[in-house]
Amino acid sequence: MNLSVEEAFEMVSYERLTPEEVHFSGAALLDNDESTDADLKEGDPELPLLPQSPRCSITAALLTLGGLIVVLSAVWLLGTLFWIHNPPSTESHRPPSPKSQNGTGLQPESCSQVPEGWRFDCYPERNVVVTEDMCHARNCCFIQSSRGNVSAQNGVPWCFYTPDYPSYELMSIVDTEMGKVGKLLRNKKTYYPKDIDALQLEVLFEEDHRLRVKITDPTEKRYEVPIDVPVVHKRASNPSYTVDFIKEPFGLIVKRTQTGAVLLNTSIAPLFYADQFLQMSSSLPTRFIYGLGEHRSNFLHDVQWNTLTMWARDVPPMELTNLYGVHPFYLSMEADGNAHGFFMLNSNAMDVVLQPAPAVTWRMIGGILDFYIFLGPDPSSVIGQYLDVVGKPAMPIYWALGYHLCRWGYKTSNKTWSVVKEMRNYGIPQDVQWNDIDYMDRSLDFTYDPSGFSTLPDLVKDLQRHDQHYVMILDPGISNSQPPGSYWPFDEGKKKGIFINDSNGDILIGKVWPGLTAFPDFSNPDTHEWWYQNLQRFHNKVPFDGVWIDMNEPSNFFDGSLNGCPDNELENPPYTPGILGGTLKGKTVCASARQKISVHYNIHSLYGLMEAQATESALRRITKKRPFIISRSTFPSQGKYSGHWLGDNRSQWKDLATSIPGMLTFNILGIPLIGADICGFGGSTTEELCVRWTQLGAFYPFTRNHNSIDEQDQEPTAFSPAARTAMKEAILLRYSLFPHLYTLFHHAHVSGRTVATPLLFQFPTDEKTYGIDKQFLWGKSLLVTPVLDAGRDYVVGYFPKGLWYDFHTGNSLISSGEEIKLEAPADKINLHLREGSVIPTQRPNTTLWVSSGQPLHLIVSLSEDGRAKGDLYWDDGETIDSYESNQYAYIYFTVEQNTMMSEVLHNHEEATYITVETASFYGVKAKPENVTVNSQEAAFTYLDNQVLTVTDLGLNLSHNFTISWM
C-alpha cells in the first residue's frame, strides 16, 4: 500500500514482514487501529492485505483495559525493586538480550520459526567458529546446523537476527520537489563501533523508470564515489513504481505499479550504518539474478548462500574470489518475464550475499548507501537505464574489432615482426599486433629495450604501412630506483608530487616488474597531465596506436609497501569482507595510503577506471582519433573509456567455456568491448582447443590471441595446415560480419544495448533461456552455438520457439523451444539467424581497412509471414564523436509483401563509397517468376531450400532502393 505522510503517522505501529509474507505478497502489513479502521472501507486500496481482526465489544474492552492496568502496575513495582538493587548500565544504547517466552532458554521462540532460507547472518566474520555465547552476545538467534560441527562459510548461518532485531526508526518524512526526505533514528547500539545514530533518507523520483535512494549522515560529510551521474531537477511525472515506508523497524518497499511485484523490501533484516560497517538486506522477486562482477561463475548466479566479494585484486580468474574489477550492479528477472536492475553506488570493499529466500545483503565498510532501481521492464531497457546513469560505452575505432595477436615472450621485435609476416604470408586476417612487458628496457614504463627491440619503431611503421596497428602494455608502477636524472617519468613525477603517499606523507614504495616502484595517483588531475606528457614523449619514438593498461588494481608484489602499513582502523576495519588473503593490503598498496581525493581505503577499486580516464584523454590529444584502450581493472562507467579482457586465463577447456558468462556479464555491465585470451594465456594449448577457441573467439566483441612466456606457440600459423585453415576461416567469417558488428557497437554507444547478448534478453518469457551461457546472440538475431568440449563433432544447442535459419546455408529449422543436436565438424562453428532479420555482411580481407571498402552482401531471414528488418550504421571508423557531429550514414532495411526497401535515414559521403552487390533471402516459399531491382528486372537464383539470391546489384548505399519478387 502506498501511504501518504499523514496516513503513515496515523498508524499506531508497524510490523516487520514475516519471510512468508514477503515472498508471496511483499506488502507492508500494518497493525490495526480503531482510529483508522473507521476510515478504511472494503476494497479500499489502502486496506492491509491480511484480514482485519474483529472488533471487541465495549464491555470486553473495559475488562481488558482493567487487566492491563493491573499487570502494568505489578511490572512497574517489580521493576522498581530490581532497579534499586541493579542500577542501569552505562551502555544505555545496548539492545536488550534475547529473552525466552517460556523462561527456559536464552532466545525467543520466534527464532525457531525463521525458515533457513530467511536467516540473515548476524556473525559474518570469516574464519570464526561461532559459539552460542558469541552469538547471544550480539543478541541474535543461535541454531546450530545439523550438517556438521563447523559453521560453513557459505552455508546456513548458525547465528542470525531475531525477527524484531533493533534497527532504525523512521521519525518523520516529508514531500520534496524531487520525492521525499525522512529522518531515521537508532536508539539501540549495534556490535560494530561508531554507529551513526541519526540518518537522512532521501528518495528521488528521478525518472518514470528510475528511482534513487540515498541514506547519509546529515551532520558529517562522508566519502561518496566521484563518478558523474545525472543530476535531475524535475520529479518523474508518471513513475512505474510505488514506494512504501515502514516506521519501526524502518523498512523501504518498492513495487512495480503495473504488476505489484516487490522489487525491494529492506524490512526483512535490520539496517546497519556505522562508520566502517554498512549493511542492508532486501528480498528478491525470484532466484534469477545476474551481474555483480567481476567474478568467475555462471552467468546466472547461485543464490544458495553465495557471497560475492568486491575489492579489485590481481589474481588469475578462479571461482569464489574477488577478481580485477568491481561492479555492484545486478539485473533480476521477475516471475512474469519483466526485469529490473539495482545499482549500489559504492566503491568500498564489500560483500554481496545471495541466499535462497531469495534475498540479497549488501555489506560495505565505508561510504554511504546510495542506490538506484531501474524498472525496465525488459532486460535490454534495464541495461540502457543503468547506462544512462554511469555512462554509455564509447564507439570503438574500427580496427579495434579486428583480430589481435599478442604474447608475453616474443623477446625481440624481430621475432614479433616475423609472426606478423607469417600471418600475411598465409593470408590470415590481422589488424593489430601487441607486445607485453618484454619490449621494455628493464621493465621500465615508456622505454623499449635497445638491444632486443631496437627495431620496434620500424616494426610499428611497417604495420601502419600495411593498414595494421600496434598496441603496447603499460603498468602503473614507476621505478624509483634509477640514478637521479636518468629516468624522467619518476624524476618529473616526484617533482610534481603526483605519486600515492603513505600515511606519513612520503611517497609509498611498492614492488612490481621493474623492482621498487612508486604509484601514480590518478585521482589527481596533475597526474593526468604528467601521464599525457610521458605518452607523448614515447609516441615520438614509437608511434603506437593504442594502449593496454595492466596491473592496475593496483598490483603490488608487497602487501602494502616496502615499509609495511600502520596498524590502524583503515588497515584493520571492524569487519573485513571475504577478500583473497584476508586483508585490504594484500598484493596492493596500504589502505591508509593518501591520494588526492581520499584515502586509498575508499578509492582502491577506482584505480583502473581513473587510469583509463587519464589514458583516454591523452590518446585523444596524441592521435586525434578514437582512443583504443584495454584495461584489466574496471569499475562502473569504464565502458566510456576502455574495453576489458577477462584476465590471465589458462589453456583449458573449462576456461574456454567460462569465457562466455564472463563476456555476457560485462556486456550487461556496460563494457561491450570484451573478450578472453584466445587459446588461453597460461599453460600450453592443444591444436583442437585452439581451433575451437579461435572459432568462439571470432565472436568475442574484442578478439585477441594472447600467450604467456615460454609456452608453446599458439598463433594460427603454428599449427597444422588443417587447423590453420579452420582458424583462418573463422577469422574471415568475423571480418565478413564487420558491418553488422560495427552497427551493434553503434547501438551500444547510443542506446546502451548489448553486443554479445544473453538469450533471455530476447526471450524473457522463456524461462529455459534464463540459465543459458553456452550460447549467445550477437545483437538480436545471430545465434552462436560453439563447441566447448574436447573430442566433439557435434554440439547441442537450445533454440527458442520460432523459425531459425542456418547462417551458412539458409536451411530452415522450426523449434518449439527445444534443444537440438547440431553437426559441428572441426572446421565449423554453428551460426543461426533468427527469423525477421536483415544482416549486412561484407567481402572479407586481411585487414578491416581493406574489408570495409568491399561490397555488401545482405542476408535476409524471413519470418513465417514474410517480414524482416535490419539496419546499418557507417562512418569513417576513426573520427572522434562521429555520431554526435552528424558525420555518419544510417540505413534502415525492411521486408514485407515480397519487397525489400532500404531507407537512408541519415546520409554521409562515406556511404557513397559502398555498394550493395548481392542479397540473399532465406525462407522464400516459392520460386519467383521474376525479380526486379528499382523496377528493373534482375538475374536471380532459387534453391530447393527456399533461398533466393539476387546478384550483380551494384546499388549505392547512399540511395534508397527496392528489391521485389513475384
What is the distance between the alpha carbons of residues 323 and 656, in angstroms, rounded to a whole number?
18
C-alpha cell, 30: 500494518
User: Is 929 an active-site residue?
Assistant: no
Orientation of helix 653-668 relative to helix 687-697, angle to 10°: 10
Of the residues 15, 553, 616, 655, only one is catalytic, namely: 553
Helix (H/G/I), strand (E/B), else coil: 659: helix
The Cβ of residue 965 has, within 10 Å, a number of other Cβ atoms equal to 20
Vertex 957 angle, CA 955 and 960, to 5°: 80
Q: Which amino acid is at 685?
A: T
Residue holding cell 550475499?
353
Q: Which three cell numbers stand for residue 110?
A: 520466534
Whole-number Å distance between alpha carbons of 871 and 73: 80
- What type of residue is 199? L
Strands in 163-304 per DSSP E: 169-175, 179-185, 198-207, 210-216, 241-246, 251-256, 262-265, 272-274, 277-283, 289-293
Nearest CA to 652 out of 689, 706, 614 is that of 689
Helix (H, G, I), strand (E, B) or coil at 881: coil
Continuous segment of H or E residues that includes residue 736: helix 721-736
**Assigned C-alpha cell, 754:** 548489448
Please name the residues in contact with 77: beta carbons below 8 A apart, sequence gap of 6 or more: none
Q: Does 553 participate in catalysis according to the annotation?
A: yes
d(CA 619, CA 673): 18
Virtual torsion, Cα 554, 559, 564, 567, nearest 10 deg: 100
Contacts of 433 (CB under 8 A, 6+ apart): 404, 405, 406, 416, 419, 420, 459, 463, 468, 469, 470, 471
Strand locations in 741-896 (E): 756-757, 776-778, 782-785, 794-799, 802-806, 812-815, 818-823, 830-834, 837-842, 856-861, 868-874, 889-896
Q: Which of 21, 550, 677, 878 is catalytic?
A: 550
Q: Which residue has 537505464 as its cell numbers? A: 385
* Rounded CA separation 425/120 (Å): 63
- Residues with a catalytic annotation lie at 550, 553
